[in-house]
Amino acid sequence: MMRRLLHEPLLHFLLLGGGLFLLYARLGGAPPAREQIVVTQAEIRRLANDWRARWRRPPTDAELAALIDDYLREELLYREALALGLDQGDEVIRRRLAQKLAFVETDPAALENPTDEQLRALYASRRNRYTEPVRLSFEQRLFSDRGQAAAALAALRGGADPAEFGDPSALKDRFRRVSEAELALLLGVAPAAQIFALPSGGWQGPVRSRYGVHLLRITERRPAREPPFDEIRERLRQDWALTRQRDAEAALLARLKSRYRIRIEPPPAAAEAQ
């Protein structure tokens, strides 16, 4: 009888099932421990400081409790979204995370302050970049008709009052110390070049732009100049920090690339891409 029972398949199944149940209970059958969320004192301090910066006063106990509750709500939703993979395939999230990592790894605030010698060396290496261009100050009158402009030019050169001439326009009548590049953005490259070629003094023109026909009188021509070091020290400091940050980001990317095997597939044919 016992021998028949030992050979019974059902007994084998029950014994195997019981053994697996005991093993599962010992190794992994218990419910997993819940993930912990800790709202630290540093995080609470940050929430309170953000409130103070916005409202110019510290939060009340009730307001601070609401801030913590909002933070906890966002953290719960954030973690669940990550668990569900909702961060995958989202271009905005991808770009934001990349920007955040780059900022953390190349934080300009962590850079040491440059010395004057370093800033002077930067100035010397990029002197053309800091040289201020020629700048003009002028008054102008605008006409829609070239014939009217020609008649007005003769009158203005004869001493007529400039206020009596010109069509209504969105352009101002006086410009102060503008560069050729700045004027080109407003009027166009060719008109700006013509204006900067005009002599100083009396009324000149006509110069045609997208706005109409201009008559101008150059009141000041400020030559190009290299500003002294003390005048642009802060700008040099900002450019130095930006350069160091870009160098740090390039080094970061080189380091990250060394961790991966990168393979770029050939782009699809034009017919396939459509």
Q: What pLDDT digit, counting tens, does each position of 51-64 carry?
A: 999 999 999 999 99
Kindly tell me the sign of the dihedral angle through the C-alpha atoms of 193, 194, 197, 200: negative
Q: Which H or E element spans position 176?
A: strand 174-179
Q: Write b or e for each residue in 236-270: b if 16 or more Cβ atoms lie within 10 A of its Cβ, otherwise e.
A: bbebbeeebbeebeeeeeeeeeeeeeeeeeeeeee
CB atoms under 10 Å from CB of 152, counted, come to 23
Residue 15: pLDDT above 60? no
Q: Which pLDDT score is estimated for 101?
A: 83
Q: Which residue has the tokens 């419910």?
A: 31
Which 8-state DSSP code applies to residue 85?
Answer: T
What is the pTM assigned to this prediction? 0.53
Q: How confident is the model at residue 274 (pLDDT cuts 50, 70, 90)?
A: low
Cα torsion for 172, 174, 176, 177, to the nearest 10°? 90
Q: Which pLDDT score is estimated for 262?
A: 80
Q: Which pLDDT score is estimated for 27?
A: 47
State the chain's mean pLDDT as an integer: 84
**Is 14 within 8 Å of 35 (Cβ atoms)?**
no
Q: Which pLDDT score is estimated for 2?
A: 44
CA distance 195 to 206: 10
pLDDT tens-place string over residues 123-166:
999 988 899 999 999 999 999 989 999 999 999 999 999 989 99
Q: Which pLDDT score is estimated for 212?
A: 93
